[in-house]
Amino acid sequence: MTNSTMVLHKAAEILENVSPVLEDEIICAYVRPFLTRRQAFLDFSARHGTPVYLFDENVLLQRAQEFTTTFSQEIPGIRAFFALKSNNHPVVAESLVKFGLGLDVSSGLELETALGTGCEHILFSGPGKTKAELDLAVSKPDVVTVLIDSFGELDRLEHVARGRNVVVRAGVRLTTEEKGLWRKFGVPLAELESFMTRAGKLEHVRLCGLQFHTSWNLTPSAQVSFLIRLGERLATMNRQQAKAIEFLDIGGGYWPERGEWLHFSATPQGRITHSVSPDISQADRYRYPAEPLESFACKIGQALRHHIFPHVRCEVFTEPGRWLVNDSMHILLTVVDKKAEDLVIVDGGTNIVGWERFETDYFPVINLTNPSLVERNCFIFGSLCTPHDVWGYSYLGEKIEPGDILMIPTQGAYTYSLRQPFIKPLAQVFPL
């Protein structure tokens, strides 16, 4: 079979599968609570103007409570460190620190934000940490645990810690996929013992933990399968080394239960269709469901008990980002121009979320000024000079007119922290 025949076969197989449609009732159930509170959101936009992020601290704290309760039931003593990269607004971090969470940072910049919150438990992970970043970490040895990404970084950390004459607490990040893009993270499992041996000879790095992170997980299977692999490795490790492991950090990667909502063009069928005939579009939206958090906690807890704890009795850390913060911020926009019944321009560009999110992801655009649960087709464009500046292809409302206030709820994760000052100003964040 030639390559192109193989590709055609595979494409045909994919096209024959049908992605699960996102039903109207699910959209209505999601929108209704926001419509109920519409006056509060309208008052907010009158106070602060648009485009703007509305931060609802109560929602954030409820999520934090639910997360810690659910995981603690399955994994007693588990400690959560909020992944700052998912939303780097200092008020979000401060709020979670006050609640009792630690922080997970991935750069010197994030570390500075985290230190500014007064947080006393910070994990610093990520590839390619510079000497200046390591030095900042080492300057707070009682607060920061460095999750080392490579053998080279182990040596650099020792050097920097020696320079300050301190002993730094550290873990090592393990590679979860030895092939492809995820190879860039961590040390392969096969090299764990030699890494620990090398660290054991150093005076200024106290290696006492392991970390891994798998991402974009609609189910816990990626975490569970890595725990099984890790357990097999730990089973053969010498007792002395196993005893040195005080914590296992299982990363983040918990998808909110609502699941992933996509336009046709982002489904496997849509991607193929669009690459061949870009004009074919489909109004339907699709939903890839996520397992509830209880299921993540339960299956990961079981995997820890079966595969890890028989070999290593350690504390468990986790680094949730998206699950905690996603629902705590909403975006408000104003319609500036109505160019046709089915085409409006709003005052904010998607530079405030930093990527062309809404070309692929579907989120309801709610017209707070002219409310209705009926969804009408209409291009909702931002005001940047690029056709990719799209907020949606429909809105829920009675009609849409210049001056209307539109809301795109649940935009707290991987939006604000990716914002970029491109053409238009950035949106500010205000508490509700």
Ligand X SMILES: Cc1ncc(COP(=O)(O)O)c(C=O)c1O
List contacts with ligand X (CB under 6 A): 83, 85-86, 104, 125, 213, 215, 251-254, 319-323
Q: Report, in Å, the least distance between residue 8 CB and ligand X.
A: 35
Nearest to 48 by CA among 350, 326, 334: 334
C-beta neighbour count of 362 within 10 angstroms: 21
Nearest to 51 by CA among 345, 360, 417: 345
In a 13 Å sphere around the CA of 283, the CA atoms on its Cβ side amount to 9
In a 13 Å sphere around the CA of 393, the CA atoms on its Cβ side amount to 17
What pairing do the DSSP bridges indicate for beta strands 375-381 and 343-346?
parallel
224 phi/psi in degrees, rounded to 5? -65, -45
Our CB check for ligand X shows the closer of 253 and 382 to be 253
- C-alpha separations of 386 from 144, 265, 351, 381 in Å: 42, 19, 11, 10
Our CB check for ligand X shows the closer of 85 and 424 to be 85
C-beta neighbour count of 32 within 10 angstroms: 10
Q: Report, in Å, the least distance between residue 385 CB and ligand X.
A: 31
Our CB check for ligand X shows the closer of 269 and 328 to be 328
Our CB check for ligand X shows the closer of 63 and 424 to be 63
Helices vs strands, H then E, count in the chain: 15, 18
Q: Report, in Å, the least distance between residue 314 CB and ligand X.
A: 18
CA angle at residue 316 from 314 to 319, to 5 degrees? 150
Q: Report, in Å, the least distance between residue 178 CB and ligand X.
A: 17
Rounded to whole angstroms, how far apart are CA atoms 78 and 361?
32
Q: Do residues 368 and 351 touch, judged by C-beta distance below 8 A?
A: no
Helix axes of 57-74 and 293-303: crossing angle, nearest 10 degrees: 30
Q: Which residue has the tokens 């409302």?
A: 397
Rounded to whole angstroms, how far apart are CA atoms 60 and 117?
16
Our CB check for ligand X shows the closer of 85 and 263 to be 85
Secondary structure (3-state) at 345? strand
Q: Report, in Å, the least distance between residue 320 CB and ligand X.
A: 5
Our CB check for ligand X shows the closer of 185 and 264 to be 185
Our CB check for ligand X shows the closer of 182 and 309 to be 182
Q: Do residues 147 and 170 touch, judged by C-beta distance below 8 A?
A: yes
Q: Report, in Å, the least distance between residue 319 CB and ligand X.
A: 4
Our CB check for ligand X shows the closer of 253 and 348 to be 253
Q: Report, in Å, the least distance between residue 254 CB and ligand X.
A: 6
Our CB check for ligand X shows the closer of 126 and 397 to be 126
Secondary structure (3-state) at 331? strand
Q: Report, in Å, the least distance between residue 107 CB and ligand X.
A: 11
- Read off the tokens for 362: 């579907």
Q: Report, in Å, the least distance between residue 144 CB and ligand X.
A: 15
Instruction: Give the chain's radius of gyration (CA, Å).
Output: 24
Q: Do residues 329 and 53 touch, judged by C-beta distance below 8 A?
A: yes
Q: Report, in Å, the least distance between residue 84 CB and ligand X.
A: 9
Our CB check for ligand X shows the closer of 80 and 298 to be 80
Q: Report, in Å, the least distance between residue 216 CB and ligand X.
A: 7
Our CB check for ligand X shows the closer of 334 and 415 to be 415
H/E stretch holding 381 reads: strand 375-381
Rounded to whole angstroms, how far apart are CA atoms 150 and 152?
5
